[in-house]
Amino acid sequence: MTQPADDSRWDELLADAAGIAEEYRENGWDAVVLEPDAVDPVEREDRTGFDVRVSAEEYDLLESLIDDGDVTITAAEVYYRPPATDDERRIALAVERDENTETAAFVPLTYDLDASRSVFETALREERLLLHVTPATGDDPDAWISFSHADPSLFLEEADVRGWFDDDSAEPTRNDGDN
């Protein structure tokens, strides 16, 4: 389980998310800022991507916005914060938007690149990264709201994926130290 980063970068990201959401609200938008309890890479038969666990209250609020049928997320912005060193956690903010209803959900993320590599390899090959917001209580394993991103590279730096794929096959390459 990946707990949100316990560092100033995570705190700054949450503060920035709140500030950007406030700008949206000043322009007449409904904006929900999530504060994840944990973010985990997930590769299961029913879903692949990142599970973003939030409080039951935040999940219910997001679900009420999405499930009433009036909101359809059709656009997104991704704010990626490069790490100072290669071994630091990656941090990003996804802003999921419905421009017709002027509704936005702010989804802060933190992830370990090594632990998330397989998820990103799949996402880059399939040109789709999914973020699954789930309630932290886990009482209902079928409860999640997914957001799709057609350009997973927005969540990475070019240097992060250099050497992952063989140029001819678009298949991931591994360096297990035996080569």
Q: What is the mean pLDDT of the chain?
A: 86
For residue 127, pLDDT beyond 50:
yes
Q: What is the pLDDT of residues 49-92, one digit of tens each?
A: 999 999 999 999 999 888 777 888 999 999 998 888 877 889 99
Question: How far is it, in rounded angstroms, from Cα 8 to Cα 14?
Answer: 10
For residue 161, pLDDT beyond 90:
no
CB atoms inside a 10 Å sphere around CB 34: 23
Contact 155, 120 (CB under 8 A): yes
Parallel, antiparallel, or unpaired for β 75-81 and 90-98? antiparallel
177 assigned to some structural domain:
no
165 assigned to some structural domain:
no
Contact 104, 32 (CB under 8 A): yes
Q: What is the pLDDT of residues 139-152, one digit of tens each?
A: 777 789 999 999 99
For residue 19, pLDDT beyond 90:
yes
Question: How far is it, in rounded angstroms, from Cα 170 to Cα 158?
Answer: 15
Give the residue, 57 or 46, on which the prediction is more confident.
57
171 assigned to some structural domain:
no
Domains: count for the chain: 1
Its domain, for residue 37, covers 8-158
